[in-house]
Amino acid sequence: MPIVTIQQFPRDTEQKRELAARVTQAFVDAYGSSPESVQIFFQETEKHDWAKGGKLGDDKQAT
């Protein structure tokens, strides 16, 4: 522990690399966690598999 699951739109590897380092450091600074105890899962979601305001992401973009 802790286990961090992030639901997000797709991002390139470099951005995920940087986010993973920064989020892990946040746990070290705020909780005193050991870095190796922090696991991060990126659950990437395409816009057609996400909705807000009753509309699919694809449809929100088209309007």
Q: Which residues bind a second copy (CB under 8 A)?
A: 1-9, 11, 13, 15-27, 29-31, 35-36, 38-45, 48-56, 58-59
- Separation of alpha carbons 17 and 40, rounded Å: 11
* Shorter beta-carbon distance to a second copy: residue 1 or 61: 1
Task: Say if residues 44 and 5 touch (Cβ distance below 8 Å).
Answer: no
**Residue 32 CB, nearest approach to a second copy (Å):** 9
How far is residue 50 from each of residues 7, 11, 34, measured CA to CA in Å?
10, 15, 34
* Shorter beta-carbon distance to a second copy: residue 48 or 63: 48
